[in-house]
Structure 1
Amino acid sequence: MQVQSSVAYPPKEPETQQDQPQDQKSIFKAVLDESNVAKILKVANQELTVPTTFPHSTNQGATEYIYEPATWWTTGFFPGSVWALVERASKRKMSTSFDDLVKVARKWEDAVESQKNNTNTHDIGFMIMPSFQRDLDVTGNKACQEVIITAAESLMTRWSDTVQCFRSWNSTRTKEYEYNDKDKYFLVIIDNMMNLDLLYSASLLSGDPKYAEHATKHAETTLKHHIRADDSTYHLIVYDATNGDVMASLTHQGYQHESTWSRGQAWALYGYAIVYKYTKDRKYLDAAKRLANYFMTRVEDGVVYWDFDAPRPCFWDTSAAMIACSGMLLICELENSLEYLPQVTSILKACVNGALTPENGATILDHSTVNNHEHANVRSADTGLVYADYYFLEVGNRLIDMGLA
């Protein structure tokens, strides 16, 4: 199986900053403003009340972070945010030096390294890749190779030959349903598409194609069962662990089982862009673009609501917005095009104008929604969220790479 890591950018004929509309220039300037960097570093340099915990979401108002233990699925995003700043400092002058940023980033990276051995979660890609892949790419730190390969081995323990997928959750429960028997139920969520990046990287680093081969098999199975005929997506597929048959198609965090949870759609479009990046199989690029096109048909004046079918008025989800923007820019990079730049600009404008936190913000962005499903055990909406900031920073870095900011 062909696995490549190249991304073709900048575009062959980039839209120079001089050629950009003034409105677009001001939006991109706001995305890259140093005040956003200051918010990340303020949190990064704080003494932790509880050691080895990580920022996750905030209170409403986004002034104070709630921290989670190292085993929580989002632990990799804050270290990744600091590494995104390191990456940015390698490309342009910033108020904090490259070396100083590396020191802070390594402190946070060291705290999450133990998760490379975690076999209880499919989210090990989220835990490891935002830091260790960037560290490897930007500084050439060879120690990161072992971390990535070990993490990929941990994820491989969750593979099922019967289902042809990686198990996402061992069990799940809401006030509506419960699946707690691993021998009977095999649970796969659309988010899992984003953890395939870890496996492709491990194949490139180790020379062993098995990781990439299993990643592509997972993408193929997901293509068959998670994506509806209209290119919207299900959040959760419950497979029969004994024969691989689909037993149920559900949501866990969206509005209804047949609605489209916006963050799930964003994970999907970005995830298939990743699969295309490594395999160069246009089937996966076509899937990514269909998913992106559907996403944009449901965006309203640049605003991404937490579920595209939830009754209005309803909560935003700026994390879904930023994941989708980064995924669409990746598609542009891979194709040497600016096809999705108007759509990305529209979403960024809505977030810059309506979701940037004031100076006392713990996060850069407010108005994310973790889970607003009516039968959720815990509902969380309209807060700051660590991965909204992570992908916001990633979007800014992509704009720099593309010669647009």
Structure 2
Amino acid sequence: MNRKTAFFHLVLALLATQALGQAPYKKTVKLAETQAALLLKQVPKAMQQKPAAAGKPVFVSPRTLTPSGELVLVPSRDWTSGFFPGYLWLLSEASGQPKWQAAARTYTTRIEPEKTNATTHDMGFKVYCSFGQGYRLTQDATYRAVLLESARTLCTRFNPTVGALRSWDHHRETWGFPVIIDNMLNLELLFAATRLSGDSSFYKIAVSHANTTLRHHFRPDFSSYHVVDYDTATGQPVKKMTHQGYADASAWARGQGWALYGYTMCYRETKNPAYLAQAEKVAQYILNHPNLPPDLIPYWDFNAPNIPNEPRDASAGAIIASGLYELSTFSATRGVLYRSKADQMMANLARSYTAKPGGSQGFLLQHSTGSKPMNSEIDVPLIYADYYFLEALLRQRNLAAGRGLSVR
């Protein structure tokens, strides 16, 4: 098949998947509104059942369901706390209904204590997905102030010898200075802080972290390790391992999604061609993997031992789809392919992975996997799956309308 014929087939595939993927947009948004309304009713009930004791954290945001179907709430310090307010901001944009902004403001405010929490690397997930989305849609000056203070707090975790932001503080007997691939997503807060303040120090730390991760986190096939532990005296890796994947040498599915999304975002912010090249190589690894199922929604780990009898991870699928949509706008040679694959993933998620109206206590997507090795959150809804699914849906709509992405 010559290049002209191959391109023709790609265009046909894109048109076909657009027809398949765009049709459910209004239906999916309507379902999201139905589910969000239910979740907003369920959260206060669950909060009443779990009143905070003196000195204990207050439960502020939904995360998942227990195996018996009970709603799980988390305090603001949990890494997932910002996704529900962010989801409500996205829903206001997707539906065109300002009523969702009132709820988004309420839940966003509950995350504000995190702006000075220096014990976590997840500032981007918590604060940028909530306050960042809110600022993008409202230009509220108080949100801008929270974003900048949060970025300053995050920078305290930067080690110049390693050239990266420290991830976890726990399990110090296991690692000295751990950096996880997930941390790539928290860099978006730092890039935003430079735009908002003019202070390039945030930008420089984000670039240093991205470069360190690029050098040490990836294998020759461009799959990513989950955790790299560094020696703070030399700045060199001590060991490379997993915490949520099947094995140290395996490709944890959500981790590959973080890598794809993270380096695509870093290219957007820096225009460094090395980041675009890395994002494309990670995309090729994912899309060409022999264990990627026909519906393109990955198993929880690409190397899980009992495929096809392994849990799927819809959250990884949503993250990958959202990343592919943005990547499609930067790639001159494979943009059509990336968008086509993202359309297929979104159509399959909408058709086979969404909850029935009024089901799942109000969550939108089903069949995600949090941590299989710890037997935690297996085949359940997860709030970050809903967030990235709705973000991807908006990106799909905007690209189809010729508007480009909605860049935060």
Change (3 A) 1:29 1:217: same
Aligned to 1:215: 206
Deviations 1:281-315 (A, max 9, x none): 11101111111111112321123110001021100
The equivalent residue for 2:91 is 85
For 1:385, the equivalent position in structure 2 comes to 382
Match 2:236 to one of 231, 245, 249: 245
Where in structure 2 are the equivalents of 1:162-311 lying within 5 Å? 162-172=161-171, 178-179=173-174, 185-298=176-289, 299-301=292-294, 302-310=296-304, 311=306
Contact between 1:59 and 1:384, CA under 8 Å: does it hold in 2?
no
Q: Which runs of 5+ in 1 are unaligned?
A: 1-13
Alignment check: 8 A CA contact 2:343 2:396 kept = no
Question: Aligned partners of 2:371 and 2:134: how far apart in 1?
Answer: 31
Higher relative contact order (CA 8 A, sep 6+): 1
In the TM superposition, 1:105-116 aligns within 5 A as 105-116=104-115
Deviation for aligned residue 1:33: 3.4
Give the letter for the 2:354 counterpart.
Answer: L
Q: Deviations over 1:37-76 (max 9, x none)?
A: 2112321244232454211121247x54211111111100
Which amino acid in structure 2 is aligned with residue 59 of structure 1? T
SS in 1 for 2:345: helix
Within 1, Cα distance between the matches of 2:260 and 2:24?
A: 23
Aligned to 2:38: 42
The residue matched to 1:57 in structure 2 has which SS? strand
Q: What residue number does 1:324 align with?
A: 320
Residue 305 of structure 1 aligns with an amino acid whose one-letter code is: Y
TM-superposed deviation, 1:246 = 1.1
Offset, 1:245: 1.8
Aligned residues: percent identity?
A: 33
Which residue, 349, 352, 360 being the options, matches 2:350? Answer: 352
TM-score by length of 2: 0.86
TM alignment of 1:19-98, pairs within 5 A? 22-30=19-27, 32-46=28-42, 47=44, 48-49=47-48, 50=51, 52-60=59-67, 63-89=69-95, 93=96, 97-98=97-98
1:149-199 deviation line (CA, Å, top 9, x unaligned): 1001111110001111000011338xxxx426xxxx100000000000000
- Is 1:193–1:219's contact at 8 Å kept on the other side of the alignment? yes
SS of equivalent to 1:229 = coil
* Greater shift in the superposed pair: 80-89 or 329-338: 329-338
Q: Is the 2:60–2:76 contact (alpha carbons within 8 Å) kept by the matching residues of 1? A: yes
Cα-to-partner distance string for 1:65-104 (whole Å, 9 max, x where unaligned) = 2111111111000111001112224xxx4xxx31x21111
Give, in angstroms, the shift of residue 273 of structure 1. 0.8
Distance 1:297 1:18, change over 3 A: closer
Aligned to 1:343: 341
Q: TM-score, normalised by structure 1?
A: 0.86
The Cα shift of 1:21 comes to: 5.5
Q: How far off is 1:275 after superposition? A: 0.7
Q: Please give the alpha-carbon distance, in whole angstroms, between the structure 2 residues aligned to 1:21 and 1:401.
A: 12
Q: What letter corresponds to residue 300 of structure 1 in structure 2? A: P
Quick one: structure 1 residues 334 and 139, their matched pair in 2 at CA, closer, same or farther if it must change by over 3 Å?
Answer: farther
SS of corresponding position for 1:402? helix
**Distance of aligned partners of 1:186 and 1:23 in 2 relative to their CA distance in 1, 3 Å threshold:** same
- CA distance in 1 between counterparts of 2:378 and 2:119 reads 26
CA 1:135–1:220 in 2, change beyond 3 Å: closer, same or farther? same
Query: Does the residue aligned with 1:249 lie in a helix, a strand or coil?
Result: strand
Q: Is the 8 A contact 2:328 2:338 kept in 1?
A: yes
3-state DSSP of counterpart to 1:237? strand
The answer on whether the counterparts of 2:17 and 2:340 sit within 8 Å (CA) in structure 1 is no
Partner-residue secondary structure (3-state), 2:110: helix
User: Do the aligned partners of 1:52 and 1:111 also contact (CA within 8 Å) in 2?
Assistant: no
Asked if structure 1 preserves the Cα contact closer than 8 Å seen for 2:346 and 2:393, the reply is no
Distance 2:387 2:18 in 1: 26
Matched with 1:6 is none
- Report the RMSD for the aligned CA atoms in angstroms: 2.2
Q: What's the CA shift for 1:349?
A: 3.1
Match of 1:8 in 2: none
How far off its partner does 1:28 sit? 4.3
Which residue matches 2:4? none
Question: What count of residue pairs does the alignment treat as equivalent?
Answer: 371
Contact 1:368/1:381 (8 A) holds in 2: yes
What residue is the counterpart of 1:124 in the other structure? 123
Secondary structure class of the residue paired with 1:66: strand
Per-residue deviation, residues 318-367 of structure 1 (Å, max 9, x unmatched): 00000111111111234584441221122223323321112222311111
1:314 and 1:268 map into 2 onto residues whose CA distance is 22
Paired amino acid for 2:344: S
**Where does structure 2 lack aligned partners over 5 or more consecutive residues?**
1-10, 52-57, 403-408
Distance 1:197 1:317 in 2: 24
Is 1:171–1:187's contact at 8 Å kept on the other side of the alignment? no
Higher helix share: 2
